[in-house]
Amino acid sequence: MKKKKNLWVKKRHARVFAFLRFALAPIMRIKYRYKPVKSDLPEGPYLILSNHQASMDPFWVSKSFRFPIYFFASDDIFNLKISPLIEYLVAPIPKSKSLTDLKAVKDVLRVLKEGGAVGIFPEGNRTIGGGQWEMTDAIAKLVKVSKVPLVLYNLCGGYGTDPRWGGKIRRGTKYTGFVRRVVQPEEYAAMSAEELFGLIKTELDVNDTLSGERYKSRRRAEYIERALYLCPVCGGVSSFVSHKTRFRCAQCGAEAEYTEDMKIAPPIGGYRKISEWFEWEKKEIVRRVLAGEKVCDGGVLFRESIKFKRKKKLDGDRVCIDGEKLVIAGEKEHVYPLKDIVALTMVGKKKFNFYYEGRILQIKGDKRFCAIKYVHVFEGLRALQSDKNEQKGE
């Protein structure tokens, strides 16, 4: 007797998604004011790509479709007590952030072969400044291999409503999601991977800060220091403190309001938008580290992430990064050379993971902790080293 193949796509997933679309409707409408545009696409294998703005994005995208979508899920999803239940009900595709994951690619192709739709946020991370996060051309190569219709989906208003660095939901006039374009396999087959990648980036490029929409909250500036970690006036690192609608540098006193239309008023150091400030500090922090400075924070929690198990607490409550290494200090000093770290990525609002010798290690800070500055140092140094290697012909 032939053994029955264990399928990824199961009938119960359709029932679960139908229930979630119904159950989440009041939250979408009342709390977030989210109004998706329904798609008339019939059930079938699709690769659905969307920009990434807010924590609830997978639910928001799903609301536009009548069939279940199998989304990529990061390591942290599989460390929850209810992880086995999540896997049973919706079968997310495990994918480590910032890593090339061949198993995840195989799982995607398996779901598509079984007639399922796969949802991916190619940026891999929610936007912090409002603009598009960097993505790699690996997504175009995956589309080429998939040979199924490519659905390009736009979320608009998510950053204004629920910015990654923020602590409270804002009430805006516009928050919606819709299918921007469907590209058939025969259409993208005629494109080079570079051309297809350019198309994907263009069609998924959404920047709420350019929309002119307004998002109201009495605490709209709170925790902006999770994104703005360098003062352009005095150079202070993690010197800003936010309260309600305003934030202030504790070192030089530079102060501004974060306005309802997502601007900084008056400008600090000439910057009126978080995205512009963000791009400046990303380069400036690398320059300063190369000049010999260290970036440090105390009061952190150091843990190891192990799939389907609770995170394991490790020794260490202070983290530092310089031009050569990441150091976690506690009863002992734990040194991780940057050249041996495979990837370092921000997770959620106040955490970052780094991948070292097959382990997933995590730093979690307090409510004002800025994780992105460590990512900027690591990625900036890695990019410079890559450029040097190219010049040497390595």
> Residue 38: what residue type?
K
Q: Give the DSSP per-residue string, 206-234.
A: --GGGS---EE-TTTTTTGGGT--B-TTT
Decide: residue 101, CB within 10 A, 0-12 exposed, 13-18 middle, 19+ buried.
middle
- Cα separations in angstroms, 119 against 125, 134, 261, 298: 14, 18, 30, 37
Which strand (E) or helix (H) includes residue 390? Answer: helix 372-392
pLDDT value for 346: 94
Do 91 and 13 touch, CB atoms closer than 8 A? yes
Q: Which residues pair with 156 in a beta bridge?
A: 176
Two tokens, residue 141: 């190569």
Q: How far apart are CA 188 and CA 13, in angstroms?
A: 30
What angle do the packed helices 11-26 and 83-90 form, to 10 degrees? 110
Which of left, alpha, beta for 55 (phi over 0: left; psi -120 to 50: alpha)?
A: alpha
3-state helix, strand, coil in the chain (%, to 5): 30, 25, 45
N-term to C-term CA, the chain: 55
pLDDT value, residue 384: 93
Measured between alpha carbons, how far is 128 from 238 in angstroms, rounded to an integer?
A: 16
Report which secondary-structure segment, H or E, holds 255: strand 255-258
For residue 172, the 8-state DSSP code is: E
H-run or E-run covering 13: helix 11-26
CB 291 within 8 A of CB 323: no
What's CA 155's distance to the chain center, in Å? 14
Helices (H), 257-348: 274-290
At 367, list the tokens: 């409510």
d(CA 371, CA 125): 13
Per-residue pLDDT of the chain (394 residues; tens, 9 = 90+): 444 567 899 999 999 989 988 888 888 889 999 999 999 999 999 999 999 999 889 999 999 999 999 998 876 666 666 677 778 778 888 877 655 678 889 999 999 999 999 999 999 899 999 999 989 999 999 999 999 999 999 999 999 999 999 999 999 988 999 999 999 999 999 999 999 999 999 999 999 999 999 999 999 999 999 999 999 999 999 999 999 999 999 999 999 999 999 999 999 999 999 999 999 999 999 999 999 999 999 999 999 988 767 789 999 999 999 999 999 999 999 999 999 999 999 999 999 999 999 899 999 999 999 999 999 999 999 999 887 777 776 5
CB 191 within 8 A of CB 199: yes
Q: Look at phi and psi of residue 362 and say left if phi exceeds 0, alpha if psi is from -120 to 50, else beta.
A: beta
Q: Quote the pLDDT of residue 338.
A: 98
Grouping H, G, I as helix, E, B as strand and the rest as coil, residue 110 is helix
Domains, the chain, ordered by start: 11-210 (3.40.1130.10), 218-289 (no CATH), 294-392 (2.30.29.30)
